[in-house]
Amino acid sequence: MEEAKPQRVVVMTGATAGIGAHALQHFAAQPNMRVIVGARGSGRTVPHGVEIVPLDLASLASVREFAGAVTRQLDDARIDILVLNAGMQTSNIERRSAEGYELIFAVNHLAHYLLARLLLPRLASQGRLVITTSDTHDPAITPIAPRTLDPQALAHPSKSGSGAGIRAYAASKLCNLLTAQSFAAMDEVKARHITVIAFNPGLTGGTSLGRDSSRASRVFVTLLMRTVFRLVGLFRPEYVMGTSERAGEALAEVALGTATPPHGRIYISLVKGKLTFPDPSELARSRDVQDRLWRESAIMAGIE
Ligand SMILES: NC(=O)c1ccc[n+]([C@@H]2O[C@H](COP(=O)([O-])OP(=O)(O)OC[C@H]3O[C@@H](n4cnc5c(N)ncnc54)[C@H](OP(=O)(O)O)[C@@H]3O)[C@@H](O)[C@H]2O)c1
């Protein structure tokens, strides 16, 4: 008699809308796969069999409760695939997380940093950690990308004003990429053959990212996409808008291991529907910057 294959476990954030909701369909369709989703609010609809555990990334206390609940629910089982995909973008950087950090930095970076640190011991050997980043981290692609990184200034910005929200978003996505590289460089991760990937879905339509931005800002971005981005897209493929269906499918491919970057690379970027493996920005590759973000994030998250 053929031996039954052990069940694989996926734990995921950002599965309730946009790119993540499409990726979730692919995970849920896999045979013998247990899928646990962290989600805020109530009345969520997810595919049959998917488990929902409450998680609000705007609160580090909620992140700790989520990690504890997942660990209890899994009992002895390990997480094969951890997908940290949730994200937000808003024009207003005055908003603060439960612990008093600027909300975009707190949700996109700090909460995921803490979650990955808390769940790393539960990750299976040869498992996968996928963190969704963005090519907005890269000054070679967009002028809004950061050229320096000061985690304290991101957590406690002193001035707001026009463009501050999108710059905070780009910086938070740089933090995702720096964090992925720090995890990939850990002895424990290497020894347990855990694959770490930073995934950029690229400019993607049909998602609700930016829904918290002001109406004026949303109108401005829509106009920009329909005019300037279309023109720039004629010679810069990164500016060609993809669909959330394809981005979700690509995220699932990357997480399930049907797509893997060449040896030694961890950054995967979806460009015109195809997976590419470019270099991250120079700042993102800096070991010093990675270490500084890691140290300061640990202090902010209270884990030193
Ligand atoms: N769209 C693009 O052009 C693009 C480009 C590059 C990278 N990305 C990245 O792709 C990822 C997915 O974005 P998307 O475009 O699919 O956006 P989306 O449609 O707005 O989905 C965002 C997801 O994150 C969740 N989320 C946001 N804040 C949360 C919180 N405080 N606690 C728990 N969950 C929270 C949302 O949950 P709710 O359903 O509760 O809101 C939703 O599931 C993000 O990391 C984003 O930065 C997007």
pLDDT > 90 in the chain, percent = 83
Name the residue among 275, 185, 198, 282 with its Cα closest to residue 237: 275
What's the CA gap between 90 and 118, in Å, rounded? 27
What would the mean pLDDT of 132-161 be, rounded to a whole number?
95
Residue closest via CA to ligand 1's atom 31 equals 57
How many CB atoms are closer than 10 A to CB 73? 14
Q: How far is the CA of 282 from the centre of ligand 1 (A)?
A: 26
What would the mean pLDDT of 210-214 be, rounded to a whole number?
82
Can you tell me whether residue 276 is helix, strand or coil?
strand
Instruction: Write down the pLDDT at residue 222.
Output: 85
Name the residue among 29, 57, 110 with its Cα closest to residue 10: 29
Closest ligand 1 atom, residue 209 Cα = 20
pLDDT band with cut points at 50, 70 and 90 for residue 218: confident
Indicate whether 2 pLDDT > 70.
Answer: no
Can you tell me whether residue 117 is helix, strand or coil?
helix
Cα dist from 93 to 135, 150, 154, 214, whole Å: 21, 16, 10, 12
List, chain by chain if needed, residues with CB within 6 Å of any ligand 1 atom.
13-20, 40-41, 55-58, 85-88, 107, 132, 134, 173, 200-204, 207-209
What's the CA gap between 167 and 170, in Å, rounded? 5
- Among 2-11, 53-62, 88-97, 270-279, whose mean pLDDT is lowest? 2-11
What would the mean pLDDT of 273-302 be, rounded to a whole number?
98
Are residues 80 and 27 in contact, defined by beta-carbon separation less than 8 angstroms? no
Indicate whether 206 pLDDT > 90.
Answer: no
Question: Structure pTM?
Answer: 0.96
Q: Is the dihedral of CA 20, 25, 30, 31 positive or negative?
A: positive
Sequence-distant (6+) residues with CB within 8 A of 222 are none
Q: How far is the CA of 2 from the centre of ligand 1 (A)?
A: 41
Indicate whether 27 pLDDT > 80.
Answer: yes
What would the mean pLDDT of 93-107 be, rounded to a whole number?
97
Are residues 15 and 24 in contact, defined by beta-carbon separation less than 8 angstroms? yes
- Among 62-66, 115-119, 155-159, whose mean pLDDT is lowest? 155-159
CA angle (199, 97, 285) in 5-degree steps: 30
Instruction: Write down the pLDDT at residue 121.
Output: 97
Q: Which of 16, 42, 267 to mutate to test the pocket of ligand 1 (most atoms within 8 A of CB)?
A: 16
What would the mean pLDDT of 74-80 be, rounded to a whole number?
95
- Provide the pairing of β-strand 274-276 with 267-271: antiparallel
Are residues 241 and 209 in contact, defined by beta-carbon separation less than 8 angstroms? no
pLDDT band with cut points at 50, 70 and 90 for residue 1: low
What would the mean pLDDT of 262-281 be, rounded to a whole number?
96
Name the residue among 138, 82, 89, 80 with its Cα closest to residue 109: 89
pLDDT band with cut points at 50, 70 and 90 for residue 223: confident
pLDDT band with cut points at 50, 70 and 90 for residue 3: low
Instruction: Write down the pLDDT at residue 161.
Output: 80
Can you tell me whether residue 16 is helix, strand or coil?
coil
Q: Pick the residue with more confidence: 42 or 13?
A: 13
Exposure of 100 in the CB half-sphere (CA atoms within 13 A): 3
Q: Which of 46, 112, 113, 207 to mutate to test the pocket of ligand 1 (most atoms within 8 A of CB)?
A: 207
What would the mean pLDDT of 92-107 be, rounded to a whole number?
97
Average pLDDT, the chain: 94
